[in-house]
Amino acid sequence: MNNLFKSVGFRIAKNRILLNLSQEKLAELAHVHRNFIGCVERAERRPSINTLLRIAKALNISMEELFKDF
């Protein structure tokens, strides 16, 4: 299960960087706190499905992309 959250966090960070977004800007777009984005990217927090949907939408990717290979 921990590998799942590491993988999701990695994909969030990768896509955020590809879009040239700061953690702060992604947090603003996804309606979460900036610190929360950092914690998710490092797999220190486990976001809800609703939060993951908002993050995916802000990154313009699908939920399937976040959970690819799982």
Distance CA 39, CA 44 (A): 5
Top-tier CATH class for 2-66: mainly alpha
28-34 long-range contacts, CB within 8 A, separation 24+ = 29/58, 30/54, 30/55, 30/57, 30/58
Question: 56 and 65 in contact (C-beta within 8 Å)?
Answer: yes
Question: 56 and 63 in contact (C-beta within 8 Å)?
Answer: yes
pLDDT tens, residue by residue, 5-49:
999 999 999 999 999 999 999 999 999 999 999 999 999 999 999
Q: What is the pLDDT of residue 12?
A: 98
Q: What is the pTM of this model?
A: 0.93
